[in-house]
Structure 1
Amino acid sequence: MINEIKSDAEKRMKKSLDSLHSAFNKIRTGRAHPAILDSVTVNYYGQETPLKQVASVNVEDSRTLAVSPWEKNLIPTIEKAIMMSDLGLNPSSTGDVIRVPMPMLTEESRRELVKQAKADAEHGRVSIRNARRDANNDLKDLLKEKEITEDEERKGQDEIQKLTDQYIAEVEKMLKSKEDDLMEV
């Protein structure tokens, strides 16, 4: 019983970390990274399709991404999709490759991106704490139904608190890494 509650809470906490990781990938730094374009979708034969399913995205150099579509007729569509995304990128095509240069970040835009990263990290922390709260409520319900003893409930809450501390420390580590990455000139 207690182990099931603990493993369920751990799964939810892992999902929160995964969600935070994908949110951090969307925050662009000054360097080129293929994950920046993960949120871009392309109209492919009337269907909105993720960019990575219709083209390969590679890092050409530290400031440029190279997008190679599987079909040449998609080049204008992909260019338009990247421009219309809220990433602030300006692609240009040369033959059968679309180059996406990463603009330099100003000090002000870096600070805005750090604020966004902190807000995303706070959402992650809240989500982890919600998983802890739900697990503790489940333990209290088991205690009310006399399925576990008070000692077992206390032990279960302590284990869940340790898990929570571990995952929140991971969030802090990810945030610190992202901040350092953003503020690096």
Structure 2
Amino acid sequence: MIDDIKSEADKKMQKGVENLFSAFKKIRTGRAHPAILDSVMVSYYGQETPLKQVASVNVEDNRTLAVSPWEKTMIPTIEKAIMMSDLGLNPSSTGDVIRVPMPMLTEESRKEMVKQAKADAEHARVAIRSARRDANSTVKELLKEKEITEDEERGAEEEIQKLTDKYIAEVDKALKAKEEDLMAV
């Protein structure tokens, strides 16, 4: 029973960390990386489709992405979708390839992105603590209903806290790496 609670808390905490990593992918560092365009949706035969399902995205050089659509008729649609995304990118097509240059980041924009990364990390920490709170309250309910002893309750809370500490450390490590990446010129 306690193992189920810990397992559920572990899943929720892991989900919080996964959400952080997907949020970090959207924060561009000035270097070209295909994951930057993961959130771009393209209208494909009336359906909103992820860009990576209608085109290949490759790194051309340090500062440029090359998007090669599977169908050449999709070039204007993909260009428009990239422009309309909130990524601040300006694509340009050259025949059958769309080039997406990464704009240089100013010191100010780097600091703004670090602020965003810190906010995303804090959201992940809150999600992890929320999972801990839910697990602990479930354990307390079991104690109240006399399904477990006080020693079992204390042991379960300690193990849940260890899980929490592990995932918070993971978030802090990821944030530190993202900050260094953003501030590197």
TM-score band by shorter chain is: over 0.9
Q: Distance in 1 between matches of 2:52 and 2:101?
A: 18
How far apart are 1:167 and its partner, in Å?
0.2
Q: Aligned residue for 1:89?
A: 89
Q: Distance in 2 between matches of 1:35 and 1:22?
A: 9
How far apart are 1:17 and its partner, in Å?
0.5
| Runs of 5+ unmatched residues, structure 1 | none
Q: Aligned residue for 1:108?
A: 108
How far apart are 1:74 and its partner, in Å?
0.2
Q: Aligned residue for 1:133?
A: 133
Q: Distance in 2 between matches of 1:4 and 1:61?
A: 48
SS in 1 for 2:38: helix
1:38 aligns with 2:38: yes
Cα distance per residue 1:142-182 (max 9 Å; x no partner): 00111100000000000000000000000000000000000
1:55 aligns with 2:55: yes
Q: What is the identity percentage for the equivalent residue pairs of Structure 1 and Structure 2?
A: 81
Q: Aligned residue for 1:147?
A: 147
How far apart are 1:93 and its partner, in Å?
0.7
Cα distance per residue 1:41-91 (max 9 Å; x no partner): 011111111101100111111111010100000000000110111101010
Runs of 4+ in 1 over 2 A off after TM superposition: none
Q: How many residue pairs are counted as aligned between the two chains?
A: 185
Q: Distance in 2 between matches of 1:104 and 1:117?
A: 18
Query: What letter matches 1:62 in structure 2?
Result: N
| Runs of 5+ unmatched residues, structure 2 | none
Query: What letter matches 1:172 in structure 2?
Result: D
How far apart are 1:11 and its partner, in Å?
0.4
How far apart are 1:95 and its partner, in Å?
1.2
Q: Distance in 1 between matches of 2:85 and 2:8?
A: 36
Query: What letter matches 1:6 in structure 2?
Result: K
Query: What letter matches 1:24 in structure 2?
Result: F
Query: What letter matches 1:125 in structure 2?
Result: R
